[in-house]
Structure 1
Amino acid sequence: MSELLRIENLHVSVGEKELLHGINLTVNSGEVHAIMGVNGAGKSTLLHTIMGNPAYTVTEGHIFFRGEDITDLTTDKRARKGIFLSFQSPVSVAGITTENFIRTAKSIISGKQQRLFPFKRLMKQRMTELAMDESYAGRYLNDGFSGGERKKNEILQMRILDPALAMLDETDSGLDVDAVRIVADNIRKYHTENNALIMITHLNQLLKFVPPDKVHVLIGGRIVKEGGAELVDEIEDHGFDAFKSEV
């Protein structure tokens, strides 16, 4: 097990408002981390900052990936290094088909042009595993997709791009029970000892299918509690109010 991601004393602002106040986090290969907390706690801010979203400004601290300081790297360079973010609310992109989008991304990230027919076979297989209609491959990215299909499309991208670090921002929200099972099954198929997962979720159901190695409670832009999978049960029993006194 080797260190994949390390965050040291991370402070993040949007405009004049500081949203994260000294986050420290280490993720090793082979691990699954869950970040939980109330709405507005800074969970999505943290993932977007790791991904390099320019809307968020790092005012203090550092982000290391595989030992390299990536704090100032642009989003595309972080993606090429193997970082992936599944969006909480995926947007539609007219004029670009799902297949062309993922094939182009795979070519850029891997540095190898993806041959058409082998890629089509891979995509068909992954879509079957996600119980997605094959016709979605030829449709514009997320255009006319239901909320559930948009979330599955994010997992489809993860499965094909095969990043070293996958960050999932409430991928399970809006999914019915069957869809959660399908998504969880594909997350397990993706996850190996050579990669790592960070998941934001409000639904303990997903964590029962994909048990976390470590759980971090984020409140008010600070990690106030850390533990193992047993912390999920504690949150389920007592909610987040029990941790607010530790902010």
Structure 2
Amino acid sequence: MLWSCACVIPLLTLYLMGNMGPMSGVLHALPDDACSFNLTLRNFQPILSWEVKNRSIVPTHYTLSYTYMSKGEDMKTVPSCTNITRPSCDLTHEWGSTAEMYVTRVVGLRGDTELVSCSGTIFPDTDMSLEPPDFQIVGFVDHINVMLKFPPTLPKVPDEEGLWRYLSLVIEEVSGGIVKQHNLKINENTVGDFTYVINKLIPNTNYCVSVYFEPMDLRTINRSPLKCTHLQPEQGSGRTGF
């Protein structure tokens, strides 16, 4: 989900002015130099990426810092995202609450010269794009095994719940134009190679399956491509989804 830091609210502007202080020898970003931010939960890892809208500004490396809007603390530089060459940062061990508003700042540099500084607010509950997990299906006579690929453990940040805490995975079963939904609540036990069984299906019938994490805004659903199989009438026969 993309959004521009050009729409930062006045409260954020005052906050940043009070916490960053004056800078000398810095090329301050103009309004049309704003960045677009994209927060994606990929394999339960929150990945923040950004893009400088003014294509004439090409930093060679970036530094990301952030703080919590609710706590009013100084900006904290992310050690693993300091002087990095890629325009993205893995915040798995930094961000762990969907209810928190994070104030972020990205500085783009070329050598020792700061070319651009972009700031914005990020609310994971509404701003985070949810990538569906990898999965495979195997069809039998009257049921389908949906084999989901989850991490061995779900990441957590000390004193925070984890961005996955309130996630619900929707498994859509499609056959003959009819869509049925199966909901799987994510918790500490939905890890590793996890199998969900869709039962009471009709033998000798085509079925397709898609999965997605249910977002707060249903207009932003990110479904996986359909995977299909034809159930066989013979007992014990199986056919891997394609």
Which structure dedicates a bigger proportion of its chain to strand?
2
TM-score with structure 1 setting the length? 0.25
TM-score with structure 2 setting the length? 0.25
> 1 or 2 for the larger relative contact order (CA 8 Å, sep ≥6)?
1
